[in-house]
Amino acid sequence: MTQLTASFDRLRRTSVDRTTIGWVAVLLNLQLLAVVSYFLFTNASITEPRYVVYGLVWLNVAGLVLWQVDPPSASFRKRRRAVAVATAYFGLLAIAGGMINPGSPEYEIGYRIAMLPPGWGPAFAFASPTIRIIVMPAYLFGYVALSYLVYDTVLATSRSAVAGVLGLFSCVSCTWPIVAGVASTILGGGTILTASALDGSYDLSTLVFLLTVVLLYWRPGFR
């Protein structure tokens, strides 16, 4: 009961004043303007509107986390440990989520910037024989926000941030197509299962990202 009370107290301390609401409204309108401008001045077309929304959801939730979460004070030793855990956590997300990939001898050293829809782009891509890096704003700031929540959790609890492991599932957008690949091999590339696995990747990754943010912020069950 004490744990649940502390969790609800944490939620109640999340205050939003009128000034903040005003700035949020301005931000959302600017994002809407950016989306409209992108599709007006590029050859891109909207085939799945929700995918455009997902990128902005990742960015906005990440920004809310970085603005709202205030880690507790702690000793230098504990803060150093928390930084190490959060950094390792971010590294795992970056690798599992496809931001960092092994290179190939056939790749030449080079980079490019892809103008994807707001939230997903502009995306930065770097390739070399040893490493490939693909950075999309939504995933970058989303993983930073999850890592920051893990940092906060390590400082605020005496136990390790076990709930943070759920954040690894935010890389579903990269791992779920592997399921589609296996399904296409077994059942054939034109099956409904294959198409569903590919189409649902961003839905699942966004859902699990939001769930992980809630769990790491609320921290039910942690003392």
Distance separating the N- and C-terminal Cα atoms of the chain: 11
pLDDT computed for residue 126 by the predictor: 93
Q: Is the pLDDT of residue 74 over 70?
A: yes
Q: Which of 75, 74, 58 is nearest to 66 (CA)?
A: 58
Quote the domain boundaries for residue 44: 2-98+137-218
Taking the C-alpha atoms of residue 171 and residue 157, their distance in angstroms, rounded to an integer, is 26
- Within 10 angstroms of residue 48's Cβ, the number of other Cβ atoms is 11
Q: Has residue 35 been placed in a domain? A: yes
Q: Has residue 8 been placed in a domain? A: yes
How many domains does the chain fold into?
1
195 versus 141: the higher-pLDDT residue is: 141
Find out whether 135 and 93 touch, Cβ atoms under 8 Å: no
> DSSP assignment of 151-180, as one string?
HHHHHH-SS--GGGGGGGGGGHHHHHHHHH
pLDDT computed for residue 131 by the predictor: 92
219 versus 145: the higher-pLDDT residue is: 145
With cut-offs at 50, 70 and 90, classify the pLDDT of residue 72: confident
Find out whether 208 and 179 touch, Cβ atoms under 8 Å: no
Q: Has residue 103 been placed in a domain? A: no
Q: Is the pLDDT of residue 84 over 80?
A: yes
Q: Has residue 62 been placed in a domain? A: yes
Average of per-residue pLDDT across 94-100: 81
Average of per-residue pLDDT across 43-52: 81
Q: Is the pLDDT of residue 108 over 60?
A: yes
**What single-letter amino acid sits at 21?**
I
Average of per-residue pLDDT across 160-182: 46
- Sheet with 100-102, side-by-side order of all strands: 100-102, 131-135, 123-127, 110-114
pLDDT computed for residue 207 by the predictor: 83
Q: Has residue 74 been placed in a domain? A: yes
Residue 129 DSSP one-character state: S
Q: Has residue 121 been placed in a domain? A: no
Q: Has residue 114 been placed in a domain? A: no
Which of 49-63, 92-106, 186-200 is the most confident on average?
49-63
Residues present in the chain in total: 223
Taking the C-alpha atoms of residue 96 and residue 107, their distance in angstroms, rounded to an integer, is 21
pLDDT computed for residue 41 by the predictor: 86
Taking the C-alpha atoms of residue 97 and residue 178, their distance in angstroms, rounded to an integer, is 12
pLDDT computed for residue 15 by the predictor: 54
Find out whether 58 and 141 touch, Cβ atoms under 8 Å: yes
* pLDDT averaged over every residue in the chain: 75
Give the contacts of 220 (CB within 8 A, at least 6 positions apart): 3, 4, 7
Q: Is the pLDDT of residue 183 over 70?
A: no
With cut-offs at 50, 70 and 90, classify the pLDDT of residue 187: very low
Q: Is the pLDDT of residue 184 over 50?
A: no
With cut-offs at 50, 70 and 90, classify the pLDDT of residue 177: very low
Which of 2-16, 124-138, 146-160 is the most confident on average?
124-138
- Cis check for the bond before 122: say yes or no (omega within 30 of 0): yes
Q: Has residue 90 been placed in a domain? A: yes
Encoding tokens for residue 6?
């502390």
Least confident interval from 136-150, 154-168, 177-191, 193-207: 177-191
User: In a 3-state reduction of DSSP, which class is residue 47?
Assistant: coil
Q: Is the pLDDT of residue 168 over 50?
A: no
Find out whether 127 and 111 touch, Cβ atoms under 8 Å: yes
